[in-house]
Amino acid sequence: MKNFLVKTIANAAALAVAVFLLKPDISLTGDSTGHQALTLILVALIFGVVNFVVKPIVKLLSFPLFILTLGLITLVVNALMLMLTSWLAGTLDLAFHVDGFWTAVLGGVIVSIVSWAMHIMLPDED
């Protein structure tokens, strides 16, 4: 349970950095800071589920592209996972939106780097 909580906090922090750095193109709106924080936690949960369920399937189906591009297709897969998270958040009436594919690519890079750094800093035991 602690590992799940740590990963959710790391995803929320990574998404917050992406929202901050790409402000007009990745938006997180809300009435108050508390509402925005709750929305960010819920979006991080959605992002975690998408990365746990959908991403391995996409990676398996696109395995030849991983070999062909020497792993650079990971940027596209991460962007698609972020866009899917944005779509699911919109479906659930959460105020999180990613505007466009190239914004998702850049956001995916930011989320990956910040999430990696957060996983190094935060404890990882159950």
Helix, strand, coil percentages, rounded to 5, for the chain: 75, 5, 20
The answer to whether residues 89 and 105 touch, using CB atoms and an 8 Å cutoff, is: no
Q: What pLDDT is recorded for position 119?
A: 79
Q: What is the mean pLDDT of residues 9-13?
A: 90
pTM, two decimals, is 0.89
pLDDT, averaged across the chain: 91
Q: What pLDDT is recorded for position 124?
A: 65
Q: What pLDDT is recorded for position 14?
A: 93
Q: What pLDDT is recorded for position 31?
A: 83
**pLDDT exceeds 60 at position 126:** no
Q: Any residues with CB less than 8 A from the CB of 92 and at least 6 apart, and which?
A: 42, 46
N- to C-terminal Cα separation, the chain: 6
* Alpha carbon distance 72, 29 (integer Å): 32
